[in-house]
């Protein structure tokens, strides 16, 4: 009967679903744990490599299941070493991941949706609109694939959910992925402290993020409702600045981790000394740090990057207000891999999908 039944991708199953498959095959429960270890710790692609299953069991498993990761469509390396990967998903859509190497650190910027349903004006992904949520294994697959691509001896040191999409609008899949990434017994064993989930301000899920034990970053970008309505209308109409800051205060009260506020600096829009002072007042008393991100210009966008002097003054004002403030360097601009610049390649692939064979060989293009 299995001849006509599509094979199940073991990576697409969560631990409970895998347990049900194991039970359905009439196997003991511990086999679930064994298979999970093969998938996430030994990272095998081939059921035959699962050598603590008997030959007969492996054959049986091959009749119903397979191990399949997303194909790489392209891999581009910017002059500063930033890598931008484009993956083809099972249904032909595409999603991007960015690797940021910095001295000994290797930070991976992971996507959680194909496109985004929010409409932040400074963001390239927003122009794609939402295609769909990623499933948990499509999120974990970005981590597994990039780790496999690193030279021997190099490891990912931190993960940030700052790629395509609003992670808290796909929370169940993000939480499932984080469980697989952090599980010490059978998963990737990544410390939750090294994972940051970044949100435009989707506050209902803040308590859930705290329970996951990962870091939370807020993409703030404005110090008044008028500014946030202008820059991030969809999210601010739903949860305005006051509601967002109240949720932030509740979060830090019950979390041992400080919050991070991301602030994209846009020339003439949110970069004045008044803005800096207002930001200092809004965040007074909140356990947090502020990351300033000078806007990365891209064709067709109406915003501009402030001058170095303006950026410097802004940072000094915030620092004088007693806040920890950091200037984020732009990385990977020549491959549009910098903050707010994900989506162009994915959109291009969406436009040319029919020309690609789903099972075609990955095309590696190094720049
Ligand atoms: S900045 Fe983030 S939340 Fe806003 S549109 Fe872009 S991907 Fe979505």
pLDDT tens string 202-239: 999 999 999 999 999 999 999 999 999 999 999 999 99
Percent of the chain with pLDDT over 90: 80
Residue 83 three-state SS: strand
Question: What pairs with residue 65 in β-bridges?
Answer: 8
Q: Mean pLDDT check: name the lowest of 126-130, 159-163, 267-271.
A: 126-130
Residue 56 in tokens: 């007969």
CA distance 344 to 338: 12
Mutate to test the pocket of ligand 1, among 166, 203, 346 (most ligand atoms within 8 A of CB): 166
Q: What is the dihedral of CA 358, 360, 362, 363, to 10 degrees?
A: -110
Count other C-beta atoms under 10 Å from residue 105's C-beta.
11
Mean of pLDDT values over 300-304? 88
Mutate to test the pocket of ligand 1, among 117, 128, 165, 231 (most ligand atoms within 8 A of CB): 165
Supply the DSSP string of 139-200, one letter for each residue: HHHHHHHHHHHSPTT----EEEE-SSS-GGGGHHHHHHHHHHHH-SSSS----GGGEEEEES
Q: Residue ranges of the domains in the chain?
A: 2-66, 71-351
pLDDT of res. 177: 98
Residue 349 three-state SS: helix
Residue 66 in tokens: 């397979």
Residue 244 pLDDT grade (very low, low, confident, very high; cuts 50, 70, 90)? very high
Between 365 and 253, residue with greater pLDDT: 253
pLDDT of res. 343: 61
The verdict on whether 116 is a catalytic residue reads no
Report whether pLDDT(360) > 60.
Answer: no
- Which member of 109, 120, 123, 339 is catalytic? 339
Q: Considering the chain, what is the average pLDDT of its residues?
A: 89
pTM (predicted TM-score): 0.90
pLDDT of res. 57: 97
Contact of 280 with 107, CB cutoff 8 Å: no
* pLDDT tens figures, 33-43: 999 999 999 99
Q: Mean pLDDT check: name the lowest of 131-140, 179-188, 273-282, 291-300.
A: 291-300
pLDDT of res. 127: 87
The verdict on whether 103 is a catalytic residue reads no
pLDDT of res. 352: 35
Report the separation in Å between the CA atom of 235 and the middle of ligand 1, taken as the mean of its atom positions. 10
- Tell me what percent of the chain is helix, strand and coil, each rounded to the nearest 5: 40, 20, 40
Question: What pairs with residue 83 in β-bridges?
Answer: 77, 99
Burial of 233 (0-12, 13-18, 19+ CB in 10 A): middle
CA distance 239 to 201: 7
* pLDDT tens figures, 11-30: 999 999 999 999 999 999 99
The CATH fold assigned to 71-351 is: TIM Barrel (3.20.20)
Between 2 and 33, residue with greater pLDDT: 33
Mean of pLDDT values over 150-169? 95
Cβ < 6 A, ligand 1 pocket: 116, 118, 120, 123, 125-126, 164-166, 200, 219, 340
Mean of pLDDT values over 191-198? 96
CA distance 261 to 248: 10
Report the separation in Å between the CA atom of 164 and the middle of ligand 1, taken as the mean of its atom positions. 7
Reading across the β-sheet that carries 195-199, which strands appear in turn?
71-77, 83-88, 94-102, 105-109, 158-161, 195-199, 215-219, 259-265, 288-294, 324-327
pLDDT of res. 184: 97
pLDDT of res. 4: 67
Report the separation in Å between the CA atom of 205 and the middle of ligand 1, taken as the mean of its atom positions. 16
Assigned architecture for domain 2-66: Orthogonal Bundle (1.10)
């Amino acid at each position: 009967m299995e001849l006509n039944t599509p094979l199940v991708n073991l990576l697409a199953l969560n631990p409970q679903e895998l347990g049900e498959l194991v039970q359905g095959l009439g196997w003991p429960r511990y086999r679930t744990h064994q298979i999970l270890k093969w998938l996430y710790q030994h990272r095998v692609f081939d059921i035959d490599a699962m050598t603590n299953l008997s030959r007969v069991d492996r054959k049986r498993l091959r009749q119903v299941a397979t191990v399949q990761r997303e194909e790489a469509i392209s891999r581009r390396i910017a002059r500063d070493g930033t890598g931008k990967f484009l993956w083809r998903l099972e249904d032909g859509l595409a999603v991007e991941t960015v690797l940021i190497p910095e001295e000994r650190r290797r930070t991976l910027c992971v996507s959680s949706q194909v496109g985004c349903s929010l409409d932040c004006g400074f963001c390239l992904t927003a122009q794609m609109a939402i295609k769909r949520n990623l499933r948990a294994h499509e999120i974990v697959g970005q981590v597994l694939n990039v780790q496999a691509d690193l030279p021997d001896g190099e490891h990912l040191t931190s993960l940030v959910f700052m790629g395509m999409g609003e992670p808290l609008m796909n929370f169940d899949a993000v939480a499932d992925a984080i469980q697989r990434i952090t599980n010490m017994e059978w998963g990737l064993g990544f410390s939750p402290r090294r994972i940051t989930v970044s949100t435009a301000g989707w506050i209902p899920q803040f308590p859930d993020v705290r329970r996951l034990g990962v870091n939370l970053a807020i993409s703030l970008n404005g110090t008044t409702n008028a500014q946030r309505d202008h820059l991030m209308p969809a999210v601010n109409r739903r949860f305005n600045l006051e509601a967002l800051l109240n949720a932030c205060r509740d979060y830090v009260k019950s979390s041992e981790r400080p919050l991070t506020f991301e602030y994209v600096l846009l020339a003439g829009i949110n970069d004045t000394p008044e803005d800096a002072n207002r930001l200092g007042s809004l965040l007074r008393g909140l356990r947090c740090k502020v990351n300033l991100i000078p806007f990365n210009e891209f064709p067709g966008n109406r915003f501009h990057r402030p001058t170095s002097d303006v950026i410097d003054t802004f940072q000094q004002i915030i620092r004088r207000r007693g806040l920890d403030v950091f200037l984020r360097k732009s990385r990977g601009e020549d491959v549009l891999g910098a903050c707010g610049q994900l989506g162009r390649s994915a959109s291009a692939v969406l436009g040319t999908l029919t020309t690609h064979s789903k099972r075609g060989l990955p095309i590696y293009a190094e720049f």
